Structure 1
Amino acid sequence: MPMMPPSELPVPRFTLAERDRRWAAVRARMAQEGVDALVCVYHTGHHNHWQADLQYLSQIGGNNVDASLVFPLQGDPTGFVINPYYEGPAARDWMSDFRPTRRAWGDLIAERVKELHLEGGTIAISGLRDHLRAPEGIVPSGTLDRIRELLPDARIVNGTWICQEPRMVKSPEEIAFLEKSVELIERSVDAMYRTARPGVRESEVYAWMLWEQVANGGDMPTLLSWLSGPWGRISQRVLQATTRVLQPGDMIFNEIECRYGGYCAQQVQPMCLGRIPDEVEEMFNWQGEAFEAVREVMRPSTTFDELIDAANIVGKKSDTYESSVTLHGRGLGEDWPLIPGRYSPEIGRMPLQERMVFIMKPTVRLKNADLRGEGIVWGDTIEVTPSGGRRLGKRPRAFLQLND
């Protein structure tokens, strides 16, 4: 029986022009660094963010599929997956050479390098070290040992930055995918507001939020972090809501992501199962001032240090509260930078570029606060434009409340 052609499956797809743009940019960087082939090794960690380079170059991905890639400076790239056709339908728009590994990753990668006559060349491995959230690297040691054993004459180098810099500035097609991601996130927000009620289990609300994403074309896995409870006694941050029963007056804080064709925007949308206390309302108003202060200066040539300084506006004007900003790149995952988590003076001096995209989420807290749940956060995914940051979200900024 003939198989349905992959082209007939309705999945998110990028154009061949987008493929050519990416491949040219990455190969230019490889040539600059004297790299003969870039290898992306399987690792589905951090909600599948750690295979971002592989998906950027191949469209291989979806629901934590294990995959690897050999991407030569010249010649056809080769994708490796566990079983035939696990690469997904979109990948076949861009590539034709896919090989099942049966989990013999190092053997198959080395075999392809030898086919390319690059066994004595320079082989860069993405994620060997200096990964955004894993500075020690994400490459499985056994696979790395096997590659070195089978390619003893190759020069193995770190390739983390070969794709990272091209990925920092998004194309119009990438921004369209991020806009779709935000659209699905806002469906999740609607589901939270529709279902979160006293007497309902948090896990039910959480499930409806994820249902909206999957039912409307979103990918799994995704991040949906959760904090809840009465103001002044908020729970720890969890990565999946528990079966705790919501109570009148509970707060819900979150980080909501959705993957669409691998692309992952984020919003932060707080909610109260009742009316928010006066203190929370005051903090939320201050938070809006910090958000706008940062958004207004998100223009090309503004430095990250200048963004950080803009976010400190509340502490400069209030004797009670202070503010700071969390900012990190949005895209396929592990998009630099991560502020404050991977801040350095070099990052601080780096200027923004048009079409960079970030989650921007200032926090306002009491000046003597210790815990994460004592702050107020609201955030949206922002595109850098000449006129300042452009919100990708459509919902008005608000602290959602249930009115009796």
Structure 2
Amino acid sequence: MTQIPLLPPPFPAAEFHSRLKALRTAMAARQVDLLIVNQFEHIGYFGGYWSTGSMYHAFLIPIDGEPVAILRALDAPIFRELSCFTEYVAFNDSANPLKTVAQTILAKGYGAAAIGLEYDSNFLTVNRARELESLLPNARMVDFSHIMWEMRQVKSPLELVYLEAAAEICDRAVKAAFDVAQPGINEREVFTAMTGEAWRSGADNGAVAVMTSGPRSSMLHASLGHRTLAEGDIVHVEPIPRFRGYSSRMQRPKSIGAPTDEQMRTAETMIRIQDEQYRAMKPGAEAKEVDRILREGILAAGLRDSYTGITGYTLGFVSAPRLSDFTRVFLPDSAWQLKKNQVFHMYTSARGMSFSETIVVTPEGGERLTKMDRRLFY
């Protein structure tokens, strides 16, 4: 059994107060008196806690004063354990959570205020938004979509430490998987080794990996099968662990038995083109130009007939139901510039193999947080 790594401590309260200060600046610019936060990532990012999505809950942030969590009574202990904030209102399972939110807002004196709503939240459905509006008829609802997603793009030094911890979990999980992946082994044994190592090393999410093999190795989002590995198979693994909510990711292939010369050339070509893409990931770089390096390189090398998918996307704090954050993606028409300390999952695939890394943008180019060798294993 491998030694469990030394993990970084929880964020100090100062980290959350700094985020809250920046958020309140955005609220003031839009003349928002009170913000209703209900997207899980944003509750975790600004409130420091998260729970299940079984029932609606919210984090109320006034322009001044202490935030208030509105949550299921069952989840109150989690809030008290994780959050640096202390004020909350807990509702029983028989209660209407939206009425509890509205009653709390009225009790706090914001019944006729300008209230920000995340109209792009996975948890604020059309029906819920309409009900909140009917329960607060004197309030002025302000669209606060996109803003918090954008605020989370550039990572703080402490966030980078968490992402580095998650990246180390990726490295350890892939090694454990490849140590087991041999002819005659059921692919579920490989998956068990990978996920077990991820959890042992500090992953805090249930779905910590993706794996396929043989004819299905090019299906990056396939469900786990029941195959027994055989000579000539390519095994695809992608650990997606979260450490205290922060997700790093990595993809690697392994050949069961000696790979063919063509497979080795394909892997080396993919890696060479991808490394060129990483070197271009500097602050101020155009995202579409970073994308072009890999997309056109793969096509020019004849490794794919077409390339319609993205070549990278945002990483950071991630929570269900969104397992990936597409606030920023790399496509031919991506009209945005990279910023220092943005973090992305950059990936490519061809001919049943895929390679990816967790990359942080630095003045010297993209730096890998995932450190495992970049090669076709066998």
TM-score (norm: length of structure 2): 0.86
Instruction: State the partner residue of 1:293.
Output: 276
Match of 2:354 in 1: 377
- Pair 192,203 (structure 1): closer, same or farther in 2 beyond 3 Å: same
Shift in Å at residue 280 of structure 1?
A: 1.9
Residue 254 (structure 1) aligned with residue 237 (structure 2): yes
Question: Structure 2 vs 1, CA of residues 301 and 235 (structure 1 numbering), >3 Å: closer, same or farther?
Answer: closer
Equivalent in the alignment of 1:99: 89
3-state DSSP class of the match of 1:145?
helix
Post-superposition offset of 1:234 = 4.2
Q: How far has the Cα of 1:186 moved from its partner? A: 1.2
How do residues 13-28 of structure 1 correspond to structure 2 at under 5 angstroms?
A: 13-28=10-25
What per-residue deviation string (whole Å, max 9, x for no partner) do you get for residues 208-251 of structure 1? Answer: 21222222221113352232214xx6474455423332223221
The farther-off stretch of 74-83 and 234-243 is 234-243
Q: Distance in 2 between matches of 1:30 and 1:272?
A: 53
C-alpha distance in 1, partners of 2:116/2:255?
49
Equivalent AA in structure 1 for residue 111 of structure 2? E
Query: Which of residues 28, 33, 38 in structure 1 aligns to 2:35?
Result: 38
Kindly tell me: are residues 165 and 235 of structure 1, through their superposed partners in 2, closer, same or farther at Cα, counting changes over 3 Å? closer
Could you say if the C-alpha distance between residues 207 and 123 of structure 1 is closer, same or farther in structure 2, counting changes exceeding 3 Å?
farther
Residue 220 and residue 149 in structure 1: after superposition, are their counterparts in 2 closer, same or farther (change >3 A)? Answer: same
1:200 and 2:177 equivalent? no
Please, which runs of 5 or more residues in structure 1 have no aligned partner? 1-9, 42-49, 132-136, 366-373
Deviations 1:195-219 (A, max 9, x none): 2222222222212212222222211
Q: Indicate how the Cα distance of structure 1 residues 314 and 323 shifts in structure 2: closer, same or farther if over 3 A, else same.
A: farther
Which residue number in structure 2 is paired with residue 400 of structure 1?
Answer: 377
Note the C-alpha offset of 1:271.
1.5
Q: Does 1:178 find its partner at 2:195?
A: no
Q: Aligned in 2, Cα 1:157/1:274: closer, same or farther, shift over 3 Å?
A: farther
1:320–1:384 CA distance, 2 compared to 1 (3 A): closer
Which residue of structure 1 aligns with residue 321 of structure 2?
Answer: none
Cα separation, 1, equivalents of 2:296 and 2:101: 51
Q: Quote the Cα distance in structure 1 between the aligned partners of 2:45 and 2:358.
A: 20
**Partner AA of 1:395 in structure 2:** M
Contact kept, 8 Å, 2:16 with 2:46, in 1: the verdict is yes
The C-alpha deviation readout for 1:341-381, integer Å capped at 9, x for no partner, is xx7x4xx2311111011011133x4xxxxxxxx35320110
Consecutive unaligned residues in structure 2, runs of 5 or more: 1-6, 319-324
**1:27 CA displacement:** 1.0
Aligned CA distance change for structure 1 residues 99 and 221 (closer, same or farther; 3 Å): farther
**Residue 328 of structure 1 pairs with residue 305 of structure 2:** no
Matches within 5 A, 1:185-224: 185-224=170-209
- Give the alignment of 1:31-70 within 5 angstroms: 31-41=28-38, 51-61=40-50, 67-70=57-60
1:72 is aligned to 2:62: yes
Name 2:340's counterpart in structure 1: 354
Please state if 1:160 is matched with 2:145. Answer: yes
1:163 aligned partner, one-letter code: M
What's the secondary structure of 2:196's corresponding residue?
helix
Q: Which amino acid is 1:110 matched to?
A: A
Alignment identity in percent?
Answer: 24
Does the 8 Å CA contact 1:198/1:247 hold for their aligned counterparts? yes
How far 1:316 sits from its partner (Å)? 7.0
Give distance in 1, aligned partners of 2:355 and 2:295. 16
SS in structure 1 of the partner of residue 61 of structure 2: strand
Structure 1 position 321, deviation (Å) = 5.1
The 2-side partners of 1:391 and 1:276 are apart by: 26
Which range moves more in the overlay, 156-165 or 388-397? 156-165
Q: How does 1:94-133 map to 2 (within 5 A)?
A: 94-103=84-93, 104-126=96-118, 128-129=119-120
The worse-fitting range, judged by mean Cα deviation, of 205-214 and 59-68 is: 59-68
Change (3 A) 1:62 1:208: farther
Paired residues, number: 359
RMSD over aligned Cα atoms? 2.6
- d(CA) in 1 for partners of 2:361, 2:206: 27
Of 301-310 and 331-340, the range deviating more from structure 2: 331-340
Q: Distance in 2 between matches of 1:64 and 1:12?
A: 26
| Structure 1 residue 179, shift from structure 2 partner | 0.2
- Once the two structures are TM-superposed, the CA of residue 160 in structure 1 deviates from its matched residue by 2.9
CA distance in 2, matches of 1:254, 1:396: 14
Shift of residue 319 of structure 1?
5.1
Within 1, Cα distance between the matches of 2:229 and 2:298? 33
Return closer, same or farther for 1:205/1:64 CA change in 2, 3 Å cut-off: farther
How far apart, CA to CA, are the structure 2 residues paired with 1:309 and 1:327?
Answer: 12
1:267 CA displacement:
0.7
CA contact (8 A) 1:61 1:88 kept: no
Aligned pair partner of 1:227 in 198, 201, 212: 212
Alpha-carbon distance, 1:71 to partner: 1.5
8 A Cα contact 2:278 2:365, kept in partner: yes
2:261 corresponds to: 278
Q: In the aligned structure 1, how far is the partner of 2:229 from the partner of 2:104?
A: 55
Q: 1:185 to 1:225 in 2, by over 3 A?
A: same
Q: Matches of 1:193 and 1:234 in 2, distance apart?
A: 15
Change (3 A) 1:377 1:215: same
Give secondary structure in 2 for the equivalent of 1:252: strand
Residues 312, 322 of structure 1: 8 Å contact kept: no
Shift of 1:150: 1.3
